[in-house]
Structure 1
Amino acid sequence: MTYLRAAAVGLFALAPLPALAHPHVFAEARLEVVAGADGNVAELHNVWRFDEMFSSSVILDFDKNTDLKLDEAELAELGETMRTSLADYSYFTTITMNGETVDVTKPDVLHVTLQDNQLLVIFAIKPVKPVPVKGRLTFGIYDPTMYTSIDFPTDEDLAVKGEGFGHCQHKVVRPDPDEIIEQNSATLTDAFFNDPTGTDMTKLFATRLELTC
């Protein structure tokens, strides 16, 4: 596999070397799940703030006029590159409906800005099919390659919005990695630790929002 470094946004386009199955890029996130008037989940609103080192590398790679900043055109190009390449990873988004995984649509646009020398990415995505606000629902953001660490600083950064969630109970689950490994030792093989891209087990470690409606 090609090492994720040809360009900063290669993070979203290529897979890392198996030996590098741990985070190298860090982002703080906020996820807001929005209920629609029709009784279904309408959208997932995302805000990601990347670490300064990764943000600096992005500036170097997309600063076409070499003025050491990104203008509107350069930010738009970056957003479109990310919008295209992240599709291969479902925008790091996992949705389950009563245990069934639901994919997401491609967002219309990824809005990218720089604040305090950090890359800020804002976008909204939708489930590919109706997700009724009933039963057991889960929502999470994680990188299946484990190259990027997506962190929610507080439980309030995983939130619901809309009257449709009024009858639901929700909680934020932050799995303990040691417990996950112990509980799943029979299924977490060497293949997982060497190449997590070949498995779907990384979601066990991801912080998630669980709803019971």
Structure 2
Amino acid sequence: MVLKRIAGHPANAYLSPMRWLVTIMSCCLPIPAIAHPHVFIDTGLEFVVDDTGQLTHVRVTWAYDELYSLFQLEEMKLDQDYDGVLTESEKKFLSGFDAEWIEGYNGDLVVFADGAPVPLSGPMEAQATTEDGRIVTTHLREVAGGGVPANAVTAKAFDETYYTAYEVTRPVTVSGPAICQISRIDPDIDGQLAQMQAFLRTLDADYDLEENDIPLVGESFATEIFVSCPNT
């Protein structure tokens, strides 16, 4: 379990489809123990492409929900004046708190190039700050082997267990000399929720989720990003 998964609950249930989804799931599903998000992260991605059209790095931004941020700052005894602004020393102390990953953890990010998985390094250049009381962190991940062609790249940010809900609401950009196109497919939340409800209706009321596999639904609610850069 990585450090960013300290228990928290959404601070707001307004506007965001992911956040009202939790209310629906909690109130309407036949078994209360079904997985639902405890932490909400607004996500941004920067794809770094070199002058040969190779994807060499991905920079990830995570902006944590207000309540999780409050819990984390209190636990680390930061922002003691409660103005939502960190000093430079506090930023340095906070940086990297969510970059201590267990072996095998994929950073809740999958990237493919021409349909093949792209191996990424662990987090580098971890930084942290606050925006309006919310913790915002960034880290850089290097593509193994020096890079892959960026002519057909796809990416999804998700936690398969759905403990953490990632929404790609922050900028998605490409940096480098190449001219690239970015597009996205957002999840069909209503459709996925209907499928989940239909599945749960097939279960007995006494179905024990602790003794059976909990459905891994996180990817179903993930936005898919498409990046296409010409070969040079």
Does TM, scored on the shorter chain, surpass 0.5? yes
What's the CA shift string for 1:12-54, capped at 9, x where partnerless?
79xxxx9352111112222121211232112222222111100
Partner amino acid for 1:206?
A
Shift in alpha-carbon separation, 1:20–1:110, aligned structure 2, 3 A: farther
5+ residue gaps, structure 1, are none
Distance 2:4 2:111 in 1: 25
Pairing 1:80–2:96 present: yes
What's the CA shift string for 1:82-111, capped at 9, x where partnerless?
211276532221101122222211232311
Distance 1:77 1:83 in 2: 13
Shift in alpha-carbon separation, 1:172–1:139, aligned structure 2, 3 A: same
TM-score relative to the length of structure 1 = 0.71
Pairing 1:158–2:152 present: no
Pairing 1:195–2:214 present: yes
Give the match for residue 74 of structure 2.
60
Q: CA RMSD in A?
A: 3.8
The 8 Å contact of residues 35 and 42 in structure 1, kept in 2 or not, is answered as: yes
The 8 Å contact of residues 137 and 212 in structure 1, kept in 2 or not, is answered as: yes
Pairing 1:174–2:186 present: yes
Deviation at 1:62, TM superposition (A): 0.9
Give the match for residue 226 of structure 2.
210
Q: Which one has the largest radius of gyration?
A: 2
Pairing 1:98–2:92 present: no
> Aligned pair count?
193
Give the match for residue 25 of structure 1.
39
Deviation at 1:184, TM superposition (A): 10
5+ residue gaps, structure 2, are 8-31, 204-208
Pairing 1:131–2:148 present: yes
Distance 1:12 1:102 in 2: 28
TM-score relative to the length of structure 2 = 0.66
Distance 1:42 1:209 in 2: 17
Which range is displaced more, 138-147 or 76-85? Answer: 76-85
Deviation at 1:176, TM superposition (A): 0.6
Partner amino acid for 1:35?
V
Give the match for residue 46 of structure 1.
60
Distance 1:150 1:60 in 2: 23
- Structure with greater proportional helix content: 1
Instruction: Give the 3-state SS of the residue equivalent to 1:91 in structure 2.
Output: coil
Show structure 1 runs of 4+ deviating over 4 A: 64-75, 180-185, 187-191
1:117 aligned to which of 133, 140, 143: 133
What's the CA shift string for 1:181-208, capped at 9, x where partnerless?
77899x99988x9535xx5x63343112
The 8 Å contact of residues 96 and 102 in structure 1, kept in 2 or not, is answered as: yes
The 8 Å contact of residues 29 and 150 in structure 1, kept in 2 or not, is answered as: yes
Distance 2:133 2:49 in 1: 33
Q: Identity percentage over the alignment?
A: 26
